[in-house]
Structure 1
Amino acid sequence: MTSGSATTDTSPWFVREPSADHPARIFCFPYAGSGASAFSAWPAVIGDAEVCPVQFPGRENRLAHPHYRSYENLAAELAGALAPRLDRPFAFFAHCAGALPAFETVLRLAELGLPAPEVLFVSGQPAPHDAARDRMLGMTEEELRADLESVVRGRGIEPRPDMVELGMVVLLRDLDAARAYRRTEPVRVRCPIVVLHWRDDPDVTLDLLEGWRAYADSVDVQVVDGGHHDFMNAPDRLRTLLAGWR
């Protein structure tokens, strides 16, 4: 393979095809209602690992693609897209509800006999068996709309009504999948898990994240300064943690 070439044919699952220029990759999973643009402010490389945002169907440039409907479906389809791109060490980073399909994808890769990530980073999300405690699952549409507008403003963008309505369509479909998710008992994975707690997150407390300790032999909980959505700015402490697995 020549330097700078793509690893395989272009896939809609990636906003940019992983290159052959870096010895490792970090595949990044967005949170409910969002897409790969959640990582648009991240650097292209952290440490020596290329940042590879994953684009779920039914949003952004994949708006016309059918929604995945369940995390299990999403994991099964994504595993196939990932398979030819696992030719070097890799990690998963997943924020909020994105941690659940990321976890399911780790399980799916194992079922297929494919490589496991070197580490699974989960950010601001309770463990799968505690997923029903997600505050968004109990919010009204009015509350969800206000929350969505707040997140958009937090990114320095004034939310237009058409933007908000489109965002709500994606968010409500994603939340339907979240409500349908049922994993009542912990299932251990082969890779270490690093759990990130955002110090100023009023809704996802440190106690809520403790459930992840039942999911791997090695589970490390780290506290990062900032609020729930500050991961989008790739703060220095987060970059340091993400570079540390290598």
Structure 2
Amino acid sequence: MTAGTRTAVSPWFVRPPSADHPARLFGFPFSGSGASAFSAWPTVLGAVEVCPVQFPGRENRLAHPHFGTYENLADSLIDPLLPVLDRPYAFFGHCAGAVTAFETVVRLAERGLPTPQVLFVSGQPAPHDASRDRMLLMSEPELRRELEIFLRGRGIEPRPDMVEMGLSVLLDDHAAAGRYRRAEPVTIPCRIVVVHWRDDPEVSLDELAGWRAYSASVDFQVVGGGHYDFMDAPDELRHLLSGWR
């Protein structure tokens, strides 16, 4: 493949990964969101190409059937990922996206396929603690209010049609989160970097400690900002994500 060429278009990626960079970082969005969660990120961090992953059932894949469970989602990701695991890579998952990223690593390892050098997990307790998410206990009206607050926090006035569409995705994603159970930790063959947001009211640093059981190498990094500030790709996060190679 010559410089400047890209792999074939896949609905799982908002843009085809290129052959111009020596490493890739795949971004996994949080519940209720899609690859647009990474729209403010640069396309390249140092020498690392940023490759946002687009889950079915949202944004430009709204017509595609919802994945149903994290396990189904991780299973479905293997084939589209295979052609682009031809160089060193890392996964970054925020909130529930970290669980999907983790489950994908588990499946890659089980099949003897290349695994990431680093799994970055942001603002998300370990898989065996995932059911503690307070939002899983919210009613539909409460989730609607949360969505409106989130949109206003991003500088977007929540139109009714926008809220209803977003709520539909969020409800499906939360149903998947409610079905997810991993009772016991399982060790994965890559380093885990746990990112804690200093001003995150959703997840404390202590609540992230469970990730220690999932790898022989687990590092905790505290960065400035709140739960959704990763979307702005702040400098501290950029530095962390460009320095793993």
Does 2:226 align with 1:227? yes
CA distance in 2, matches of 1:56, 1:63: 9
Q: What aligned pairs does 1:62-141 form with structure 2 within 5 A after superposition?
A: 62-141=61-140
TM-aligned CA deviation for residue 5 of structure 1: 0.7
Deviations 1:48-103 (A, max 9, x none): 10000000000000000000001111011101100010001000000001111110
TM-score (norm: length of structure 2): 0.99
Percent identity between matched residues is 72
Alpha-carbon distance, 1:238 to partner: 0.3
Q: Secondary structure at the match of 2:101?
A: helix
Q: Which residue does 2:6 correspond to in 1?
A: 6
Equivalent residue for 1:212? Answer: 211
Q: Distance in 1 between matches of 2:165 and 2:69?
A: 20
Count of residues paired in the alignment: 245
How far apart, in 1, do the equivalents of 2:35 and 2:152 lie? 18
Q: Secondary structure at the match of 1:98?
A: helix
Q: CA deviation at 1:202?
A: 1.3
Tell me the distance in 2 between the aligned counterparts of 1:135 and 1:218: 29
1:196-218 per-residue CA deviation (whole Å, 9 max, x = no partner) reads 11111112001100000000000
Structure 1 residue 112: deviation in Å?
2.0
Which string of whole-angstrom CA distances, capped at 9 and with x for unpartnered residues, describes residues 22-56 of structure 1?
11000000000000000000001012100000000
**CA distance, structure 2, for counterparts of residue 197 and residue 143 of structure 1:** 25
Shift of 1:155: 1.7
CA distance in 2, matches of 1:5, 1:114: 24
More displaced 10-residue stretch of structure 1: 35-44 or 132-141: 132-141
TM-score, with normalisation over the residues of structure 1? 0.98
Tell me the alpha carbon deviations over residues 138-176 of structure 1, each in whole angstroms, 9 at most, x when there is no partner.
Answer: 112122111111111122211110000000000000000
Amino acid at match of 2:5: S
- For 1:22 and 1:153, the matched residues in 2 are separated by 36
The residue number in structure 1 matching 2:158 is: 159
Find out whether 1:35 has 2:41 as its counterpart.
no
1:214 is aligned with what amino acid?
A: A
